[in-house]
Chain A
């Protein structure tokens, strides 16, 4: 919403400065977005050309002697065709910034002749596109005076960023009312004098869609003379960014801003037959005032004559019945439209107009008829003519809302004391009608405030006018106890997994929740319910089923920038369905190139090798452990989802059913489909699948039993079939005496001719902790035999000779 300072002062009697007004607007909820105080125009002064001589060296230039009102005439070189002796125009002295050419003038020589300034065109001052010559002012224009001030071009333009709840502030009058309520002056022009017309309107109006049109008023004015609107009106319209068209149209635009009352003017002679307000026919077309053809449907409301739609109700008028310079009989329309329907129609047709802006917020129903009177009066004043009687159809009158308002509500919600008298005065100044004398009053809401419904709205009115700044902060009462429940278990687990992965040298990425459909499908997603119907880009269309495609793409982007060795992770949501329980909490990561735990790339102490499945297995287990999974009970199964290398991937399970994670090198086809290169490994662990930790009655740790007997280690090497999983071998060794054996460590894997084809040698170190006595050689013999026997039984392995 834009307006000028002088326009505001038409409605507000005030001594307040521009700065005070701007500050107050913002503080009462009409946030000022920008102020153009036109200071840039101030240096241009009215000057008179005393003489104009031909430039000695250029056919098209003249050398002027200009009286700028400061004493001696100055010499100016000028190329304008209308530059001549006696002309009065706008002069810019050296040092002046000229906005239209974006130049700060200096004394210059043009073809050898010094020029001490410039006579300007309208375009150079950014007043219009006019550039055929320099500005010509009337003979009585006072030389030496600021041109902008004299021509009233220094009217500051204020733009407010209007919240959608305030239709009343889509008008200069409404803004003035708010400022007056806030103590910045007195509201003017509140009453509108009715216009007396003669003769019933010959064009009859019928409303066939009363649900979309709660009221319609028209008046015919005959014998008008349309033409350009007066300069003052044009200046205001230009100042707020509108293009003056002709007096009739300009009046409707002017009142749209002046009173928040959109209007339409038909050339009555172009209207065929009577007018019907009805739903449009499906497929009905209309060429609107913007010259474009719109196809309407039965959801939309139109004003039609015998030949079809004339106007899109509340949004835009039609071209063929519009008013132009030749219009002599004008039909002025002031109507009410159902806001939601206007919003829907405007959205569907992609039309944004000042009328739609107001109708979809809700215009003042009680101003429908006064608005018509005001418009009629302006038409009579500016274009002459004879008014007919107003024809008002369908308007049932306004039922004002009444809110029961306890004064104490202000204190209850805001914490400040505002006296009943002040509350009452504020409401009255805003146009509310408070009734009653007690602690609780009845407040009638004015017709221009459809946003005010209940007590809280009334509190807001009192608070914003009284001043939010007057509310002193008050501490929130502190809890009586230490805050012991800040994060949920899932939140703590998420946070711990994140820190644990970063500690492993990985960098946390935040990638898009939506990914290309192809990527989603590749990782088990792509369901219709998780496809956006209006994605911002084609490759951001599907909710991700996995963190991996985003991370893989991110790793590749880094590689393309020359950073091939990256370790990235993310702890966030993935989506298996469109219900809350189908949003998973996942920690995932990728390692590319040589980005291993100990470092990446070449190093004098040993170059890093390519990342492999064991790197990401370690990441996955670390994340799970940090997130509180019972690591000692986890099982690793060979193989994982299809996007991994089938022989170099694994699944981490807790029991037969609960999958806590997957890890592996990627399938070459995955890399190909994502158009990325490796070496590349990744993992995902499902934090939300980790069982809830059991509530413990105590945090006491189990008693520490330290054996006084020396711990010993024994090495074994077994030859087993290559296919045997080493985990089954270590489990077989460790399980023969769970008390004595504290650890089984694999320290060598060897494959080669010496152990036989399809065989491998697995060397393990068994840690033994005697508990009751020092073990004898026989004890060790017995234990070793048990280990060898059980390994043989479980895996077919034989002790390597």
Chain B
């Protein structure tokens, strides 16, 4: 008996040593076959149990089975270790330099022009106040650009507009480039009954060119017509707009009587600001006034030209430069750069395509 036990112990020692020495899964498999395969050393021992006496089997049975279990466990453990080591080795070999730069996604690279972005900001604010966006043609008639807006023929006010004219067309009519977005007021009144609440962004043109004037620029016009809209309402709308647009809690605005042919009374509006820091304008603080827009009650003659009875309907209108308020808000120094398409400028002052100005998500980031 003890001799058999000694043999088992020797076999176990050999097998465990073979398992430990197995360098890969194939070697492990070879050891397993040699021990537990059909003709394996342990399988052979198990076959001898049948020829043993009951007492002998009672002793040797557990001994051999125990050996088989221990060798099986050792095989499994070694196999698992080897697989882990193999994965480990593969991972090490697969290491990449993650500091290498990746290509920027197109959505990060693209840019929205500040003018478009600011129009979207204006749309978000006035949309919330119940306005719709209206548009009109750049090439206009004298009627819509001047006469219907109560500019008398030959009046000095017309001269102030530095109008671009076209060569006369086949019909002998001389068209012009609109000098303001106001013709859309008339076009809207002709097409729609009050109540009217619209804002009109668009291109406008005047024969003027320097750092703050461009022969092409952008205006946004507003028009409210109903049976009660008055100067007090206009002040409210414009103050609410300026607060929302410049993203400040309060603004001080100064309404000064002024003159525009198409409004009566007319006003120019200054906004309180701090310009003490170079290249930067802060709103809602400071001691400076900055002219920002013109406005007034729609002139009775303009209402008449739009087909409305000024005894029944009344309203107000205002206009301001989109480029100008963009420059004020975002600090671009030179208007001419707006139209140069310099990619460095667009990259710097432009907006990412997915920065959508909304009131719920913020006008600007």
Contacts and interface: CB of A to CB of B under 8 A. Distances in A.
Interface stretch (A26-34, A102-110, A240-248, A634-642): A26-34
Interface in A317-345: 340, 343-344
Nearest to B108: A505
Given A478-B130, A578-B139, A504 B106 contact: yes
Given A476-B233, A479-B130, A540-B215, A598 B106 contact: yes
B112 A498 contact: yes
A513 B140 CA distance: 14
A529 B171 CA distance: 10
A276 to B, nearest CB: 25
Interface stretch (B3-11, B16-24, B160-168, B277-285): B160-168
B216 A340 contact: no
Interface stretch (B39-47, B64-72, B344-352): B344-352
A528 B174 CA distance: 11
B256 A31 contact: yes
A494 to B, nearest CB: 9
A513 B138 contact: yes
B27 to A, nearest CB: 40
Interface centre among B157, B215, B338 (most CB of A within 10 A): B215
A94 interface: no
Contact of A456 (B232, B300, B343): B300
Given A510-B113, A558-B342, A528 B133 contact: no
A165 B131 contact: no
A347 B342 CA distance: 39
B194 interface: no
Interface in B158-182: 159-160, 164-167, 169-170, 174-175, 177
A466 B165 CA distance: 41
Contact of A533 (B167, B237, B346): B167
Contacts of B224: 476
A55 interface: no
Contact of A554 (B177, B233, B341, B356): B341
B338 A459 contact: no
Given A457-B264, A508-B350, A513 B207 contact: no
A723 interface: no
A531 B232 contact: no
A477 to B, nearest CB: 8
A573 B131 CA distance: 23
A529 B167 contact: yes
A530 B164 CA distance: 11
Contacts of A473: 232-233, 235-236, 239
B131 A475 contact: no
Contacts of A163: 258-259
Given A456-B300, A508-B112, A561 B156 contact: no
B38 interface: no
A695 interface: no
B154 interface: yes
Interface string B105-121: 01101111101100010
A563 interface: yes
Interface string A447-480: 0000000111101100110001101111111110
B259 A505 contact: no
A561 B342 contact: yes
A290 to B, nearest CB: 21
A483 B353 contact: no
Interface string A485-511: 111100100010011011111111111
Contacts of B268: 31
B209 A508 contact: no
A413 interface: yes
B135 interface: yes
Nearest to B160: A164
A488 B215 contact: no
A507 B110 contact: yes
Nearest to B136: A580
Nearest to B164: A532
Contacts of A531: 166-167
Given A29-B256, A503-B106, A509 B154 contact: no
A420 to B, nearest CB: 19
Given A528-B169, A533-B165, A533-B166, A463 B231 contact: yes
A535 interface: yes
A503 B353 contact: yes
A694 interface: no
B286 interface: no
Given A456-B297, A479-B130, A583-B139, A532 B265 contact: no
Contacts of B166: 529-533, 578
A413 to B, nearest CB: 5
A313 to B, nearest CB: 16
A754 interface: no
Given A344-B154, A561-B342, A563-B343, A474 B236 contact: yes
Contacts of B203: 513, 572-573
Interface on chain B toward A: helix, strand, loop, or mixed SS?
mixed
A471 B235 contact: yes
B177 A164 contact: no
Contacts of A578: 139, 166, 169, 175
A582 B139 CA distance: 10
B82 to A, nearest CB: 35
A29 B256 CA distance: 6
Contacts, number: 264
A599 interface: yes
A361 B156 contact: yes
Contacts of A455: 300
Interface string B170-208: 100011010000000000000000000000000101011
Interface string B237-258: 1010000000000000011111
B110 A505 contact: yes
B230 interface: yes
B128 interface: yes
Contacts of B55: none
A347 B159 contact: yes
Interface centre among B113, B136, B138, B264 (most CB of A within 10 A): B264
Contact of B137 (A413, A486, A507, A580): A580
Interface string A568-581: 10011101001110
A412 B311 CA distance: 11
A416 interface: yes
Contact of A511 (B109, B215, B267, B341): B341
Given A343-B156, A414-B232, A456-B265, A532 B177 contact: yes
Contact of B169 (A361, A529, A540): A529
B132 A486 contact: yes
B230 A414 contact: yes
Contacts of B346: 507-509
A615 B120 CA distance: 28
A597 interface: yes
Nearest to A28: B257
B135 to A, nearest CB: 7
A460 B106 contact: no
B265 A501 contact: no
Nearest to B350: A507
B138 A456 contact: no
Contacts of B126: 486
A543 interface: yes
Given A474-B232, A502-B111, A460 B264 contact: yes
Given A340-B153, A456-B297, A580-B137, A505 B130 contact: no
Nearest to B201: A491
9 contacts: A29-B257, A343-B156, A460-B257, A464-B257, A468-B267, A471-B235, A509-B341, A513-B203, A604-B101
7 interchain residue pairs of minimum CB distance: A415-B232, A505-B106, A29-B257, A502-B353, A163-B259, A460-B265, A554-B341
Given A513-B203, A533-B165, A599-B104, 13 more contacts: A343-B154, A413-B230, A468-B231, A471-B235, A476-B129, A483-B132, A487-B132, A488-B132, A529-B170, A532-B166, A558-B342, A566-B343, A578-B166
